[in-house]
Amino acid sequence: MTDLTQKIVWITGASSGIGRALAIRAAEAGCQLILSGRRQEALATLAASLPVDSLILPFEATDYPSLADTVAAAWQWRGRVDVLINNAGISQRCIAMDAKPEIYTELINVDLIAPIWLTQLQLNRMADAGGGHIVAISSVAGRIGAPLRTAYCAAKHGLIGYMDALRSEVDKVHNIKVTNILPGSVATDVARNAITGDGGRRGLSDAVIDAGDDPLDCADAILEAVRNDQPELIFAKDMELGLAQMRHADPDTFFEAVAEFGKQTVTQYWEEQSSTG
């Protein structure tokens, strides 16, 4: 079991939602934090509220030419990064038929290519330091094909695949642990900030998200998974947990259940579009 006290933990997407909750809980565990995101003011407010040393390191996740300098700044702060938590991301709420091709590029860049780049730039440094821990916040949608989320599912499935393959290369050889987190519905602004078919933001939450788990409970579970060097954690309940488990255990029943769920969801989507159009 890994003691997180005084560990240097870098959290992306730290200004809100699960990222903010992770910062709060990691600070309570005695970690020193690197807080990243795009909103510097929100990061500064968060850092000021925490009882531990924090480095505010705002950056744009898809500004790939600048990422090497960002990583260098993170490592220079305390000479190491013990845990990188790839949390920054966006979701989607539109059917494939309504989605411009450009939203696939944007969402896969943010949710897949950006965390891959940031992870790649840590690996040699972590290996030279004797080890580390990479955490990827994927989603239950990284295990199942959820309606209204074709681009999001593509990115989150891809993130799990990359991290699983990475684990096979670095776990035993370099003592770099890799943990995939698959949250279900957590009460954040993820649905409100989701991309729509024209590339705009939805501006509307989902009832299932609003009734979801407390982000602080999710953060507790994530940090416990890190302490235990757990390769994967599904943080979900009820139907979401059942479908994630059924995907491999009983695929025929799974595909039938998802088809019915998709039919209901798309019908609801059309009704919503009609009422707002």
Q: Which residues are catalytic?
A: 152
Strands 83-86 and 132-137: parallel
Nearest to 222 by CA among 15, 6, 17: 17
Q: What angle do CA 199, 204, 205 make, to 5 degrees?
A: 115
Nearest to 98 by CA among 229, 271, 275, 269: 269
Kindly list the distances between the CA atom of residue 161 and the CA atoms of 22, 143, 178, in Å, as whole numbers in the listed order: 24, 10, 12
* Residues forming a β-bridge with 134: 84, 178
Q: Give exposure, 137-153, as e/b (b: 16+ Cβ within 10 Å).
A: bbbbbbbbbbbbbbbbb
DSSP 8-state assignment for residue 230: -
